[in-house]
Amino acid sequence: MNTLADFPAEAQLKPQIARRRTFAIISHPDAGKTTLTEKLLLFGGAIHLAGEVAARGERRRTRSDWMEIEKKRGISVSSSVMMFERNGIVFNLLDTPGHEDFSEDTYRTLTAVDSAVMVVDAAKGIEAQTLKLFEVCRLRDIPIITFINKVDREGMDPFELMDQIADKLALELSPVTWPIGMGGQFHGVYNLNTHDWHKLAGDGSTKFGTTERLTGLDDPKLDAAVKPDVLAEFRGQAELVAEAMPKVDMEAYREGHLSPVFFGSALRDFCVADLLDGLSAWAPPPRPQPAGDVAVDPNRDEVSALIFKVQANMDPNHRDRIAFARICSGRFSRGMKLNQVGTGKSLAVTAPIFFLAEERELAEEAWAGDIIGIPNHGALRVGDTLAEKGDLRFTGLPRFAPEILRRVRLGDPMKTKQMRRALQDLSEEGLAQVFRTHLGGDHIVGVVGALQLDVMASRVEAEYKVKIEFEPAPFATARWLAGDPKLVKAFVDVNKSVVADDVDGDPVYLARNAWELNYTREKNPDIRFVEIKEMH
């Protein structure tokens, strides 16, 4: 039998792209994102043994031991990408940092996905960070599948959870799997569509055992195994779901009005495979990517890609960087020459990388929807468009005006050069923003959340051997200056003490407080003080 790979590339384009699912998992810390990620990889055949609970702390440390701060805080701050294939579907799973201080990085990662899985802790329901990330997804029209995790433990009543999610997120819900009891009464999970009953192992634990396909909710096999009161409650709930809640409607889901819901347990392996089946069946294949007024069709012949993340110093012994590029259209093949739009430079991509679960592989070919890593020495920036032809530029990757500004103080003045290099590298990576004041040449670091400052200082020390500290800056807020270049220049010339350049050399106005910002704005009506800068 011929496989897709036997056909010429032109004939493969559409089917190859159609079988790709590029998605992220969003959740509040501790809901189970790490566990679910591992299990998706395990069920997707990408790894053979997911880290057991005891081993996981160790594995987590290994995975990110280049980043001291992760060890100290026990949080994951860097996004990564994992690719795997299951039943003919190619999944690209993008990991998002869990901590709220990294919202900007998360935001950028979410520009590179077509759908998301939202993990909710069954005992806690919708938490603050889930809500925030959900809002970002809604803003970007990213459809969501909900995974209600930890049903092996005592949790909220399933209907109470449904009501809460539906209310807080203004979303219709369509349950696909439903727990038979929870916590002490847990008897597995039932798939309302397939009538698969995922049963317990039977060894007194809450581990997954086998799956059995039943004839329906009234199958006597349930009566033989489940306590009558638990079963009666489950049957009542399942009937109510069938009567009162909508079936999965793919269009409503893809438009973001409805979320299919899976109750399950990542740790105990319940419904991870069902979730993968749901993603395969319903999640959208690569969607058109916005580039100004047009949307670039993924099935275009010409290759185009968007750099949504840059990771510096993945290997501390080399100053190399990896740029993460989402292929937005066409078929990419290794060695291809791509233009870095806007710079006039062309780049031969000779060593592109696929990120498989625990290893990397040279990417010989990639299709729209795939994420490749491009090693480089700093030429590629977040927001860059790479294109085989033409000068289209992808849009929608923002940089936010920082909410915290700090002046950098260097311990050892002999290390100025290294410090500049470090600040430049890490700001190009998008970790924080660095501004250089016109008068005095001070380095001002701007962040959205305070934890970014710690990460910055710790990485500068670990990766560049430079100790820096942050001291209060006399500024509270920053705005990019836009408008007629002549007027902007005139403003810059007379306001040197409160103007700095960002990493791209674009001028930024620094205000001591909100009042001053408003005052300056009123005095300069022809200049725009921009809060969100579109990266280019």
**Residue list for the binding site for GTP:** 27-34, 95-99, 149-152
Identity of the residue, 32 or 181, whose beta carbon is nearer to ligand G4P in the bound complex: 32
Q: Could you tell me the smallest distance in angstroms from the CB atom of residue 155 to ligand G4P?
A: 10
Give the pair of three-digit tokens for residue 401. 């005006």
Identity of the residue, 266 or 306, whose beta carbon is nearer to ligand G4P in the bound complex: 266
Q: Could you tell me the smallest distance in angstroms from the CB atom of residue 100 to ligand G4P?
A: 13
DSSP string computed for 119-155: EEETTTBS-HHHHHHHHHHHHTT--EEEEEE-TTS--
Identity of the residue, 268 or 436, whose beta carbon is nearer to ligand G4P in the bound complex: 268
CA distances from 227 to 209, 264, 400 (A): 18, 20, 55
Residues 6+ apart with CB under 8 A from 335: 348, 349, 350
Question: How many H helices and E strands in the chain?
Answer: 15, 33
Q: Could you tell me the smallest distance in angstroms from the CB atom of residue 314 to ligand G4P?
A: 21
Identity of the residue, 47 or 498, whose beta carbon is nearer to ligand G4P in the bound complex: 47
Identity of the residue, 56 or 247, whose beta carbon is nearer to ligand G4P in the bound complex: 56
Q: Could you tell me the smallest distance in angstroms from the CB atom of residue 115 to ligand G4P?
A: 19
Burial-class residue 486 by CB neighbours within 10 Å (0-12, 13-18, 19+).
Answer: exposed
Q: Could you tell me the smallest distance in angstroms from the CB atom of residue 31 to ligand G4P?
A: 5
For 287, the 3-state DSSP assignment is coil
Q: Could you tell me the smallest distance in angstroms from the CB atom of residue 418 to ligand G4P?
A: 34
The site for ligand G4P (CB under 6 A) is made up of 27, 29-35, 53, 56-57, 98, 149-150, 152-153, 265-268
Identity of the residue, 34 or 339, whose beta carbon is nearer to ligand G4P in the bound complex: 34
Residues 6+ apart with CB under 8 A from 6: none
Torsion of the alpha carbons at 522, 432, 129 and 400, rounded to the nearest 10: 30
Identity of the residue, 52 or 315, whose beta carbon is nearer to ligand G4P in the bound complex: 52
Residue pair 23/94 in contact by the 8 Å Cβ criterion:
yes
Residues 6+ apart with CB under 8 A from 334: 349, 350, 351, 352, 362, 363, 364, 365
What is the Cα–Cα distance from 453 to 444, expressed in whole angstroms? Answer: 11
What is the Cα–Cα distance from 203 to 97, expressed in whole angstroms? Answer: 36
CA 118-280-83 angle, to 5 degrees, is 75
Q: Could you tell me the smallest distance in angstroms from the CB atom of residue 212 to ligand G4P?
A: 21
Question: Which residue from 160, 104, 117, 89 is spatially nearest to 31, judged by alpha carbons?
Answer: 117
Identity of the residue, 33 or 438, whose beta carbon is nearer to ligand G4P in the bound complex: 33
What is the Cα–Cα distance from 238 to 355, expressed in whole angstroms? Answer: 40
Strands 507-511 and 499-501: antiparallel
Q: Could you tell me the smallest distance in angstroms from the CB atom of residue 71 to ligand G4P?
A: 14
